[in-house]
Amino acid sequence: MPPSNLKAALEALLFSSDEPLSLSLLAESLEAASEDVAREILELDADYRRRGAGVELREIAGGHLLVTAPEHAEWVGRLLRGRKRVRLSRAALETMAIVAYKQPVTKVEIEAIRGVDSSAVLATLLERNLITIRGRSKVVGRPLLYGSTAEFLDYFGLKDLAELPRPEELRALVAAREPEQLDMSELQVPADLAQTLPEGAAVERPAETAGEAEGLADDADSEPAEQEQT
């Protein structure tokens, strides 16, 4: 039986989670119909907006997440100031940006844009599950192809890849996520990416960009990155 107060139970689940919860998972957990949960999500969101709450519901990476309202971010930042948090290096941010906009993309293509070896940073991003191996290119050597993950969307608070800004606008998005770690004046990769994309071009989903790499292999070929042939 679903809870007697479905909206309150839904709010409790959302409050307890630090990652987006899908509609199907919420419905299963509450033993309620998906359409009922979807309706309560809309009503809960409306309640927050109506009373100007300090939190808001955000749809991120195919799920729903309670986040701090932007106008109160300063106060949350003061509370959390000084707490240690693992941050991404500038090299990792640059590499992640290339993967996001050019996926599926090979290590050689990434290094052609960055101008330096990217083996270590790719391994870091794979370990943190911000990027993933999507298969192999059919070019000579069949190098691994990299793409973004749901965790990437969660990290930047994006609903899907269609919400990615233009590369030249990426500085603002990165600055909001990593304000202390990144010297934005030195982040050249977004500008380089902007020059390689057609004017006004929309960012495509990974499944739609597979043709850029002359097709993916039938299997994922998920060997460790260090075994890649480039």
The answer to whether 23 touches 40, Cβ cutoff 8 Å, is: no
Half-sphere exposure of 161 (CA within 13 A, CB side): 19
Half-sphere exposure of 188 (CA within 13 A, CB side): 4
All domains in the chain, ordered by first residue: 6-79 (1.10.10.10), 90-227 (1.10.10.10)
Instruction: Note if the pTM is more than 0.85.
Output: no
What is d(CA 4, CA 183) in angstroms, rounded to the nearest whole number?
51
Residue 224's CB is within 10 A of a number of other CB atoms, namely 10
Closest Cα to residue 202, out of 134, 109, 101, 131?
Answer: 101
The tens-digit pLDDT sequence of the chain (230 residues) is: 889 999 999 999 999 988 899 999 999 999 999 999 999 999 999 999 999 999 999 988 889 999 888 888 888 877 766 555 557 777 888 888 889 888 899 999 998 888 888 888 999 899 888 999 998 888 888 899 999 998 888 887 788 888 887 766 666 666 666 655 545 444 555 555 545 554 444 444 444 333 333 344 444 343 433 344 43
Tokens of 200: 């006004």
